[in-house]
Amino acid sequence: MRVAIIGAGFGGMAAAYDLKKAGHSVTIYESANYVGGLASGFKEPNWDWSVEKFYHHWFQSDHEMLGLIKELGWEDKVLFPRPLTVMYHKGKFYPFDSILKMALFPGLGFGLDKIRFGFVGLYLRLTNNWKALEQVTADAWMMKWAGKNVYEKMWKPLLVGKFGPYYAQVNMAWMWARIKARTTRLGTFEGGFQRFASLFAEHLLEMGIEFRMGVSVESIKREQAQLAVRSEGQSELFDKVLVTTSPNLMAKLSPELPENYLKGLLELKSMGAVVMVLSLKHQLSKQGYYWFNLPKEEGYPFLALVEHTNFVSKDHFGGDHIVYAGDYLQVGHEYFSMTDEELLERFMPALKKFNPEFDGDWVNKVWVYRTNYAQPVPLVNHSKNIPAIQTPIEGLYFASMSQVYPWDRGTNFAVEIGRRAARLMDSKQ
Ligand SMILES: Cc1cc2nc3c(=O)[nH]c(=O)nc-3n(C[C@H](O)[C@H](O)[C@H](O)COP(=O)(O)OP(=O)(O)OC[C@H]3O[C@@H](n4cnc5c(N)ncnc54)[C@H](O)[C@@H]3O)c2cc1C
């Protein structure tokens, strides 16, 4: 069987790997001139490792990803340090990544609120009944069970930060999945995620998979018993096609899809992201904190500050200190149209809050990355609205971040859904 895959992110590459192993001929179309998609990275000439454009790490529970790496024989290249995550309270940051540190966190006092926070967390870790949880909003569930104070202090800032205007509509299964699957040890690949993506692509090339890099697919149409993939003014015929782009793009690529499937794709909601990467001369967090959760109402111009070189050594980056400042935003937000210089001007004063000695002279270089499709928004009863991987057009398949539900999007789940799509495509010959 002749298969085309649209997208060389981790979902597309994982599907290609399995389909090739099953004996099919596989061609990957990728509009960018690099592999890795949203998890790709970049490198300065004096760096040994690449830096992800959007901050990335794995959890120890990312079994699909870690399993694939093991299968490829690269598990010795996976590192799992234990960086520090901190929470904001009254102008200060407190470590918040173990039961003991949570117990010591002053933000909830030391009475009933702390106990409610603990019990709710424990219940969510133990239960598997996400189907009941998806029927209510996280806002309503947390208000009821964690209480107003705990919700407003701990969980609401997370929801507001990630989902902006949709925060009160997101279902509780999203929160459950987040609490269920996260670990305090965080993982990366020696050399960065881009190194892994590139090694994987080289392996796929060696297996005989064809890559069409820098080729943007314009449409996919049924042509008798096959599917015609159109790009750069030419059409090529395949027996089956897997698309791994956003739902919006999928709808554009294949307007012949039946109306109800198209409507389902277009009704899915998602947030975009704008992330600034800064290379600094000095360490920003003197305490060595990696991840700062920031409440928007305190006036920070971004949601998360992440000091990458408090996770992996600055020595991999020629001594440069790498810091991310990022936010999830609706497309059309001013951060999408501001110049990099304007955005730096907006962000810079906030950096002093992490280190009063910070000065503009510390900045070596700045990069800004933007994406329209960063975080799917799962509304109540989302499981009923997920588009099927096998579309109503015979031979056409779709696998995206919006379909890995109830899990939150991540490279682990891109691998999982890519491999699931490959199994479906292989079994329906
Ligand atoms: C801010 C941010 C932080 C994140 N943090 C983490 C994290 O810490 N850990 C983690 O595991 N995951 C994280 N993720 C999620 C992770 O990046 C994604 O879940 C994963 O990369 C999705 O892979 P994919 O293959 O499904 O899609 P993508 O990576 O989006 O791949 C799709 C590919 O299709 C290509 N394409 C699009 N249109 C066309 C076309 N017309 N023709 C040809 N090719 C096309 C794109 O260029 C892209 O390469 C984060 C994402 C964001 C945005």
Strand 304-307 to strand 78-79: parallel, antiparallel, or no bridges (unpaired)? unpaired
Query: Is the pLDDT at 47 greater than 60, yes or no?
Result: yes
Looking at residue 180, its pLDDT comes to: 84
Q: Which of 56, 62, 186, 194 is the best mutation target for the ligand 1 pocket, counting ligand atoms within 8 Å of the beta carbon and taking the most? A: 56
CA 313 to centroid of ligand 1, rounded, Å: 25
Nearest CA to ligand 1 atom 33: 7
Three-state secondary-structure class, residue 141? helix
Looking at residue 271, its pLDDT comes to: 96
Residue whose structure tokens are 């870790």: 125
Residues 6+ apart with CB under 8 A from 127: 133, 176
Report which residue type is found at 66. Answer: L
Report whether the peptide linkage leading into residue 406 is cis, meaning its omega lies within 30 degrees of zero. yes
Greatest Cα pair distance, the chain, in angstroms, is: 69
CA 11 to centroid of ligand 1, rounded, Å: 8
Are 360 and 352 in contact by the 8 Å Cβ rule? The answer is no
CA 153 to centroid of ligand 1, rounded, Å: 31
| Whole-angstrom distance, CA of residue 31 vs CA of residue 194 | 17
Which of 10-14, 85-89, 203-207, 324-328 shows the lowest per-residue confidence on average (mean pLDDT)?
Answer: 85-89
Three-state secondary-structure class, residue 103? helix
| Whole-angstrom distance, CA of residue 259 vs CA of residue 261 | 6
Residue 173, classified by CB atoms within 10 Å of its CB into exposed (0-12), middle (13-18) or buried (19+), is buried
Query: Is the pLDDT at 306 greater than 90, yes or no?
Result: yes
Percent of the chain with pLDDT over 70: 100
Q: Which of 10, 31, 38 is the best mutation target for the ligand 1 pocket, counting ligand atoms within 8 Å of the beta carbon and taking the most? A: 38
| Whole-angstrom distance, CA of residue 366 vs CA of residue 166 | 30
Tell me, using a 6 A CB cutoff, whether residue 66 lines ligand 1. Answer: no
Looking at residue 88, its pLDDT comes to: 87
Which run of H or E residues covers position 112?
Answer: helix 112-126
Residue 115 has, within 13 A of its CA and on its CB side, a CA count of: 2
Percent of the chain with pLDDT over 90: 83
Looking at residue 429, its pLDDT comes to: 55
Strand 78-79 to strand 25-30: parallel, antiparallel, or no bridges (unpaired)? unpaired
Which atom belonging to ligand 1 lies closest to the Cα atom of 10?
A: 25
In this prediction, residues 382-402 reach a mean pLDDT of 96
Query: Is the pLDDT at 83 greater than 80, yes or no?
Result: yes
Which of 4-18, 93-107, 151-165, 223-237 shows the lowest per-residue confidence on average (mean pLDDT)?
Answer: 93-107
For residue 296, name the pLDDT band (cuts at 50, 70, 90). Answer: confident
For residue 385, name the pLDDT band (cuts at 50, 70, 90). Answer: very high
In this prediction, residues 391-398 reach a mean pLDDT of 97
In this predicted model, which residue has the larger pLDDT, 33 or 92? 33
Candidates 245, 264, 232, 266; CA nearest to 386 is 264
Sign of CA dihedral 142, 146, 148, 151: negative
Query: Is the pLDDT at 278 greater than 70, yes or no?
Result: yes
Residue 94, classified by CB atoms within 10 Å of its CB into exposed (0-12), middle (13-18) or buried (19+), is middle
Query: Is the pLDDT at 298 greater than 90, yes or no?
Result: no
Looking at residue 427, its pLDDT comes to: 85
Could you tell me the end-to-end alpha-carbon distance of the chain, in angstroms, rounded to an integer?
8
CA 276 to centroid of ligand 1, rounded, Å: 17
| Whole-angstrom distance, CA of residue 194 vs CA of residue 220 | 29
In this prediction, residues 210-239 reach a mean pLDDT of 96
Tell me, using a 6 A CB cutoff, whether residue 228 lines ligand 1. Answer: no
325: tokens are 């400042």
Tell me, using a 6 A CB cutoff, whether residue 38 lines ligand 1. Answer: yes
Query: Is the pLDDT at 428 greater than 70, yes or no?
Result: no
CA 37 to centroid of ligand 1, rounded, Å: 4
Residues 6+ apart with CB under 8 A from 31: 214, 215, 216, 217
Query: Is the pLDDT at 117 greater than 90, yes or no?
Result: no
User: In the predicted model, what is the mean pLDDT of the chain?
Assistant: 94
Tell me, using a 6 A CB cutoff, whether residue 246 lines ligand 1. Answer: no
pLDDT tens digit sequence for 122-155: 899 899 999 999 999 999 999 999 899 889 888 8
In this prediction, residues 177-191 reach a mean pLDDT of 89
Tell me, using a 6 A CB cutoff, whether residue 244 lines ligand 1. Answer: yes
pLDDT tens digit sequence for 317-342: 999 999 999 999 999 999 999 999 99
Tell me, using a 6 A CB cutoff, whether residue 10 lines ligand 1. Answer: yes
Query: Is the pLDDT at 75 greater than 70, yes or no?
Result: yes
- What pTM did the predictor assign? 0.95
Tell me, using a 6 A CB cutoff, whether residue 37 lines ligand 1. Answer: yes
In this prediction, residues 418-429 reach a mean pLDDT of 90
Residue whose structure tokens are 């598990």: 75
